[in-house]
A and B are shown apart, each in its own frame.
Chain A
Amino acid sequence: MSGTLDGLQVGESAEIIDISSDCTRAGRMSTLGFIPGRRVTVTRLAPLGDPISVEIDGQEISLRRAEASLIKVK
């Protein structure tokens, strides 16, 4: 099953397949650790539902749903 990172529930984890975005944005996100093959876990949502906070490679990172929806996971 594949979807995007913003489709995951809190506590769920998945493996990153790709970032479907322009190079610059994909480049910025991938430097922060969002690279294909890594596992990411959604740890919590902000009180208003956006942004979301995820754990990747031992770090906790928050990102908006708009960006999370660019990250394809399985």
Chain B
Amino acid sequence: MTMATLDSKKSSLSSNTLPLVALVGNPNTGKSTLFNRLTGLRQHIANYPGVTVEKKSGLLRIGHQDLDLLDLPGCYNLTAVSRDERVVMDVLGGRHGLRRPDLLVFVVDASNLKRNLLLASQCAELGIPAIMALNQCDAAKRNGIHIDTVLLAKQFGIPVVETVATRGRGVDDLKSAIVNALCNPSFLPRIQWPECIAKGCQVLQTGVKDLGGDGVTQAEALRVLFDNDSVFTCGISDKICLKKMVDAAHQDIRGLGLSPGSAEAVLHYRHLESLLDGVVTTSGSVARSHESIDAILLHRVWGTLIFFVVMYVVFQSLYSWAGPLMDLIDTVTGMAQGFLSPLLENMPVLQSLICGGIISGVGGVLIFLPQILILFFFISLLEDTGYMARAAFLVDKLFSWCGLNGRSFVPLLSSYACAIPGVMAARTLSDPKARLTTILMAPFMSCSARLPVYILLIGTFIEPRYGAFAAGWALFAMHFIGLALALPLAWLLNTFFLKIKPQPFILEMPDYRVPTLRNIFHRMWERGREFVLRAGTVILAFSIIIWCLLYFPRNPSVAEKVRADFSAPSASALSNNALEHRIESAYIEQSYLGRFGKAVQPVFEPAGFDWKITVGVLSSFPAREVIIATMGIIYNLGADVDEGSEDLRTILQNEKWTSGPRVGQPVYTLPVVIGIMVFFALCMQCGATVAIIARELDWRWATFSFFGMTTLAWISAVVIYQIGKLF
């Protein structure tokens, strides 16, 4: 389907004429797989307003009927303490301008029926028509679990369809069940609450309203009753009065011999057990297929070893295997520039805008794709086989002290190649707080774009003077410093600043499964497309803005002056090429960014940076790797130098202060060199990362991260220089 028809479809969706069907279920039940089966590629990813939860919707075409299909975030229950968690309740209740679904499709894992149905039992309160997709029937059968589907449907009063989402089995039956259910709705049986809970809810319903909160439904009142700090009480100022009401209700619950914390689950499980009586039979001993594999993969020694091997492969593939593809994108970008540049010879501004701004901007977006695709290939593979949960189990302890968790490992590791895929990979964390922290820490990991700076400076100043051994250590230290600072910072952030409550880190160990290529490629396609469409546009815009700042005002008199200076009889003769480099350098000095660099040089004075380093640092804010090219321009060598350039190294070694108190002294002393490297290690010099953080969280966090890291980098560079000066 072409984009145009898709767009016209989208607009017809928003006119609210199509029935809305929502998939609801626990994590890992096969909801996304089923969603993809039902919608094909006709889907659309956005965020719910005001929160960082992903909203996946798509067009479901059944015969001639079009429906709107929504994939609700996977969850175990309706507990709503954070705004992120509230989304499911808000959709089901049709709050905040969200559309209330006309039909719920409960996706349940047949191997674990009772636990999966708890969510359904909670949702029954909302009185929305429902059907059930009994998924992963194949795995259940293999595990010796037999389910009497007819009895199940009879007991729960709703249609039940057996499906195997990975193979597409039962999907057509599910489609017809959806169409039928929209005409003949049927409802899940509601739990009979004990008198005191029903009464408690009524009291809370009126109470919340009287205390000035938004009116709550019975289902929402249950949340107020069972969750402390429920989001549904956030409009209420008199929390004490509310607490009294809740406590009174809890006292009644204790009177039933239940504790308020587990009462809800206990009662739902009782309700479900009576309904499920005779539905599930297990033949013989339930073979726990993963037992023997776990014995190795979670073994103290072998498990740890295998973990590191797996992670090494993931990292290598990002760090090295993506290289050729990235080079290819670079080459194609270069070819496009080389092809267009002569055609626009007569229009220098347009030539520079198109070649320097737009094409390199587009190239700068696409360059991230290989790593994103490769990383999501591995993430899907690890998730789908069931290894990811085990990996998180193995290393959780390393991260738990600072508010991250075992699932932070892969995002942080991939950030060593590039923070963009790393930040995107933080989606695999279901706890909003841990996800937020992981995203904020990701840019601290030393990505491959920082490497050229380290190589240039270490190769120029440390290796010649202190030998290869010291150089090796310096390189290692630069890669380590970000991590060493990030973890304590995460701890600080979590302990003192983030007010969101962490969720308990409880992982379900899924069965080992054979992954399907279809699923894996779908995930790669989805993430790649999303990156290009959502973050890519912002990155491109950045790139054009920066081009403007470096190009304008471009007063021709600058070039004339350089030419005049060098054609004066006293001047030494200069080749044409060298003259061009001088002109380029003079233009940069006169550009808005160059002037800004000179103006803010005093800010970097305490770190010992001269204006040239300052302009270099400033111009690398959009993308740190351009520092080398900028230095090439500033030092009159032209933009196509690389970190190994002997000319550049010689110039840096001989660079002296030309004015000020240190006139005649070398600019690049050891403290300055280390300061620059540490500055690069800690600073958020990457427009693309800012854009992706804004995309994954929001602009406030992106701004916070940008200014926070920049300040930290500046402080570190200053401290290093000032201490270094003492020796």
The answer to whether A31 touches B509, judged by C-beta atoms less than 8 angstroms apart, is no
Beyond A24-B79, A47-B304, A67-B504, whether A30 also contacts B400 by CB under 8 A is no
The answer on a CB contact under 8 Å between A24 and B262 is: no
Query: Do residues A61 and B114 form an inter-chain contact, with CB atoms below 8 A?
Result: no
Nearest CB in chain B: distance from A43 CB, A: 8
Residues of A within 8 A of B76 (CB): 28, 31-32
CB neighbours of A58 from chain B (8 A): 112, 286
Stretch in B39-47, B263-271, B617-625 touching the partner: B263-271
Q: State how many angstroms separate the Cβ of B609 from the closest Cβ of chain A.
A: 43
Given A27-B226, A44-B298, A46-B397: A51 and B505 within 8 A (CB)? yes
CB-based contact B393/A53 at 8 Å: yes
A31 vs B260: C-alpha distance when bound (angstroms): 13
Identify which of A23, A47, A60, A63 gathers the most chain B CB atoms within 10 Å of its CB.
A23
Q: Mark A17-30, 1 if CB is under 8 A from B, else 0.
A: 01101111111111
Instruction: Indicate whether B168 reaches chain A with its CB closer than 8 angstroms.
Output: no
- Assess whether B437 is interfacial by the CB under 8 Å rule: no
> Provided the pairs A47-B304, A51-B397 are in contact, do residues A23 and B226 lie with their beta carbons within 8 angstroms?
yes
- The answer to whether residues A35 and B398 also contact, given A23-B228, A28-B77 and a CB cut-off of 8 A, is no
Total inter-chain residue pairs, C-beta < 8 Å: 128
* A13 interface contact, C-beta 8 A: no
Report Cα–Cα, A34/B288, bound state, in Å: 20
In contact, B77 and A27 (Cβ under 8 angstroms): yes
The interface on chain A, measured as residues whose beta carbon lies within 8 A of the other chain's beta carbons, has a size of 36
Chain B residues contacting A34 (CB-CB under 8 Å) are 262
B115 touching A57, Cβ below 8 Å: yes
The 0/1 profile, CB within 8 Å of B marked 1, for residues 33-46 of chain A is 11110000000101
Give bound CA distance, A29 to B507, whole Å. 11
- The residue that B506 contacts in the complex, of A22, A27, A29, A36, with Cβ under 8 A, is A29
Let me know if B506 and A62 touch, CB within 8 A: yes
Within the complex, which residue of B226, B265, B269, B508 is in contact with A61, where a contact is CB–CB below 8 Å?
B508
Known: A19-B259, A32-B506, A50-B400. A27 touches B114 (CB 8 A): no
> In the complex the two chains form, is A23's CB within 8 Å of B508's CB?
no
Does B396 reach chain A (CB closer than 8 Å)?
yes
Assess the B261–A61 pair: CB atoms within 8 A.
Answer: no
Q: A28 near B226 (CB under 8 angstroms)? A: no
Separation of A20 and B347 alpha carbons in the complex (Å): 74
CB within 8 Å for A51 and B393 given contacts A32-B115, A35-B265, A35-B269: yes
Contacts of A49 in B (CB 8 A): 397
Interface presence of A74 (CB below 8 A): no
Question: Is the beta-carbon distance between A24 and B303 smaller than 8 angstroms?
Answer: no
Do residues A62 and B507 form an inter-chain contact, with CB atoms below 8 A?
Answer: yes
Quick check: is B647 within 8 A (CB to CB) of the other chain? Answer: no
Confirm or deny: A1 has a beta carbon within 8 angstroms of a beta carbon on chain B.
no
User: Cβ of B18 < 8 Å from any Cβ of A?
Assistant: no
In the complex, the chain A residue whose C-beta lies closest to that of B258 is: A36
A residues near B562, Cβ cutoff 8 Å? none
> Is the C-beta of B290 less than 8 angstroms from some C-beta in chain A?
yes
CB distance from B634 to the nearest CB of A (A): 49
Q: Are A25's CB and B393's CB within 8 A? A: no
Assembly CA distance A22 to B229 (angstroms):
10
Name the A residues within 8 Å of B304 (CB-CB).
Answer: 47
Cβ distance B670 to chain A, nearest Cβ, rounded Å: 39
Partner of A31, one of B77, B288, B290: B77
Residues 247-287 of B, flagged 1 when their CB comes within 8 A of A and 0 if not, give 00010000000011110111001000000000000000010
**Could you tell me the distance between the alpha carbons of A30 and B228 in the complex, rounded to whole angstroms?**
15
Q: A18, B79: Cβ atoms under 8 Å?
A: no
A24 with B229: in contact, given A33-B115, A57-B114 (CB under 8 Å)?
A: yes
Asked if B79 contacts A27 (CB within 8 A), the reply is yes
Say yes or no: A27 contacts B227, CB within 8 Å: yes
Which B108-152 residues sit within 8 Å CB-CB of chain A? 112, 114-115, 118
Cα A65 to Cα B501 in complex, Å, equals 18
**Known contacts A24-B227, A27-B79, A64-B504; A18/B115 CB under 8 A:** no
Residue pair B286, A25 in contact (C-beta under 8 Å)? no
Residues from chain A with Cβ under 8 Å of B286 in the complex: 58
Chain A residues contacting B396 (CB-CB under 8 Å) are 46, 50-51, 64
Residue of B nearest to A43 (CB): B294
**Residue on A nearest B511 in the bound complex, by CB:** A60
Residue of A nearest to B406 (CB): A51
Residues of B within 8 A of A35 (CB): 262, 265-266, 269
Tell me the complex Cα distance, A50–B508, Å.
Answer: 15
What are 7 inter-chain pairs, A to B, with CB distance below 8 A?
A: A30-B261, A31-B118, A44-B298, A49-B397, A51-B505, A61-B507, A66-B504
A-B contacts besides A22-B228, A50-B397, 14 pairs, CB < 8 Å? A18-B262, A19-B261, A23-B228, A24-B501, A27-B79, A35-B265, A35-B269, A46-B396, A47-B303, A47-B304, A53-B298, A53-B509, A63-B506, A66-B504
A binding-site residues for B, Cβ under 8 Å: 18-19, 21-36, 44, 46-51, 53, 57-64, 66-67
The 8 closest A-B pairs by CB, nearest first: A26-B261, A30-B265, A48-B397, A30-B262, A60-B509, A31-B77, A62-B507, A67-B504
